[in-house]
Structure 1
Amino acid sequence: MTTENRAPAPPAPHSGRPAGAVYADRGSSHFDILLAAMVTVVVLSGIGAAKGVSFGEIPGTGFEIITDGGFFLFPLAYVLGDMITELYGPRSARRAILTSFAVSILASLSYQVIIALPPFPDEYGLAKQAALELALGPVWIVVLAGLAGFLAGQSLNSFVVSRMKQRTGERGLIARLFTSSGLGELVDTIIFCSIASVAIGITTLEQWAEYTILGVLYKVIVQYAMIPATSAVIRWMKRTDPSYRERLAASQQADAAA
């Protein structure tokens, strides 16, 4: 069993002091599933975000609802990041973040190779080539925007979760999820929208502001709405992860014996 994510033992509940952080072993059965899900969400969001989406103007406000094609999926990346940080610690969260974007960069490079390959010379082949260039050509800009935004936002998100857990231990899970979600999404969205707006066709400061404000509000609302389900899944994973149960029990026994 590895000890990479092992943290100082938490005090026993009766001591009245905040409990320290306990993390599971990455080799357990849940980490690979969470990692695969995060990679998939990030790659698909990068493709979808290359498309600008407008739901029209809100009557009487002059505010246009502008977003991108990845808006409905990307908040899940932060939910998964919260789960990974809470269960496996900040080092595992950093590994998941870097893995997601390494795969995303590979996907972006693959799109450019696909575009560069010579198409069939008939009318249908040339039409498909033009469609690929239009759809996948700007994805590298979105990947760059996502890389900058997600690295900053998710790193802040993971930092907040891990530091709060060090102070409160197993208590305060809901508070950790609420606090980290807002900060991470705010930083991520501002950076992402500033770079990706070029790729999706946003040309004015007003459109950028509408795109950014809506992005922050939507992502935070979705994450907050999912917190009951997120916390329930985290607690279930803690109960069913052998290494987490073992480390938590050992920490409590060590403190009781001290």
Structure 2
Amino acid sequence: MVHSILKDKPTKLFLGLSAFFVANALIAESIGTKIFSLEKLFGIHPSNFTLFGQSGLAFNLTCGVLLWPLEFVMTDIVNEYYGPKAVRRISLTAVALISYAFIMYFVAIGVPPADFWISSGTQNGIANMQTSFNAIFGQGMRIIIGSLVAFLVSQLVDVFIFHKIKRMTGDKRIWLRATGSTLVSQLIDSYIVLFIAFTGVFSWQMILAIGIMNYCYKFTMALLLTPVIVFVEKRIENYVGHETAVKMKRSAMGQEEPETTAIPVAG
């Protein structure tokens, strides 16, 4: 059974894409506690502008946004070759494993630290290792819930729009359906997490302003990553063969049943 799975290229490809998708999502959630300056990253002074009456704004973003655009690229690739059922499957798997990871983070925070470990970082300027550990891994519950809900909803929206565009364009213009679906789903993702996590904490003007800044970054990344989608499509076709790639795409659209696969992933 295992050998037959490992010999099937579409199945091996799905396993690889799924593993990267879940790992990338978990890493993005884990590093999301750090906020970085986009302007400083490019060696320029932070901007100071006003939006919706909120002054002193700059492009300060969570490190999670460095990886989230890749999730939407992966979503579109899986959607193209395996269909919406496969996207929903790996999305739910990612949410389940991220939730498990955060439960383990909180368990790790709760266990009593060894006395020597608490002061073990003093020579590196860390006065209390337990406090630092708590600060890094102890994200607020509203932020965690908001992020997971935003991720799941935006994935479903991405799948829906992707297939709507594909039914109009056929197998051509993958760049159009991938970019179009990502631009809409990223907008929804940006505001769901903000409203769940910060309603009652920030004013709605501040939430709108932060959301627009986040979306500007995601919008730009979606455009910049468009060639990556075209490149990956060509690599996949070279890997599985043109005929198999065509069959996979048709199966993903529900136009025909897949021939014989070790793991059924498309409806």
* Interval of TM-score (by shorter of Structure 1 and Structure 2): 0.7 to 0.9
Correspondence 1:187-198 to 2 at 5 A: 187-197=188-198
SS of 2:59's equivalent in the other structure is strand
1:45 corresponds to: 28
Q: Which of 69, 74, 83 is equivalent to 2:77?
A: 83
Q: Distance in 2 between matches of 1:164 and 1:235?
A: 20
2:231 corresponds to: 232
Correspondence 1:60-139 to 2 at 5 A: 62-122=56-116, 123-124=118-119, 127-138=128-139
**Change in 2 beyond 3 A, CA 1:139/1:39:** farther
Q: Distance in 2 between matches of 1:158 and 1:133?
A: 36
- 1:116 Cα deviation (Å)? 0.7
SS of 1:53's equivalent in the other structure is strand
Q: Distance in 1 between matches of 2:157 and 2:195?
A: 19
Identify unmatched segments of 5+ residues in structure 2. Answer: 1-7, 40-44, 51-55, 121-126, 257-267
Is the 1:64–1:210 Cα contact (8 Å) retained in structure 2?
Answer: no
SS of 1:147's equivalent in the other structure is helix
- AA aligned opposite 1:124: S
- AA aligned opposite 2:74: L
**Change in 2 beyond 3 A, CA 1:118/1:155:** same
**Root-mean-square deviation (CA), in Å?**
3.0
- AA aligned opposite 1:31: F
- AA aligned opposite 1:100: A
Q: Distance in 2 between matches of 1:246 and 1:222?
A: 28
**Change in 2 beyond 3 A, CA 1:160/1:238:** farther
SS of 2:26's equivalent in the other structure is helix
Partner deviation per Cα, 1:96-124 (whole Å, 9 max, x = no partner): 11111111001100100100111012441
Is the 1:193–1:212 Cα contact (8 Å) retained in structure 2?
Answer: yes
**Change in 2 beyond 3 A, CA 1:185/1:250:** closer
Q: Distance in 1 between matches of 2:159 and 2:119?
A: 47
Task: Tell me the TM-score normalised to structure 1 length.
Answer: 0.76
Is 2:17 the partner of 1:34?
yes
- AA aligned opposite 2:232: V
Is the 1:81–1:154 Cα contact (8 Å) retained in structure 2?
Answer: yes
- 1:151 Cα deviation (Å)? 1.0
1:4 corresponds to: none
Identify unmatched segments of 5+ residues in structure 1. Answer: 1-24
Is 2:230 the partner of 1:241?
no
- 1:197 Cα deviation (Å)? 4.5
- 1:133 Cα deviation (Å)? 1.3
Is the 1:52–1:67 Cα contact (8 Å) retained in structure 2?
Answer: yes
**Change in 2 beyond 3 A, CA 1:48/1:194:** farther
**Change in 2 beyond 3 A, CA 1:182/1:246:** closer
2:162 corresponds to: 161
Q: Percent identity?
A: 23
Higher relative contact order (CA 8 A, sep 6+): 1
- 1:162 Cα deviation (Å)? 2.1
Q: Distance in 1 between matches of 2:114 and 2:64?
A: 30
Is the 2:157–2:185 Cα contact (8 Å) retained in structure 1?
Answer: yes
Is the 1:28–1:241 Cα contact (8 Å) retained in structure 2?
Answer: no
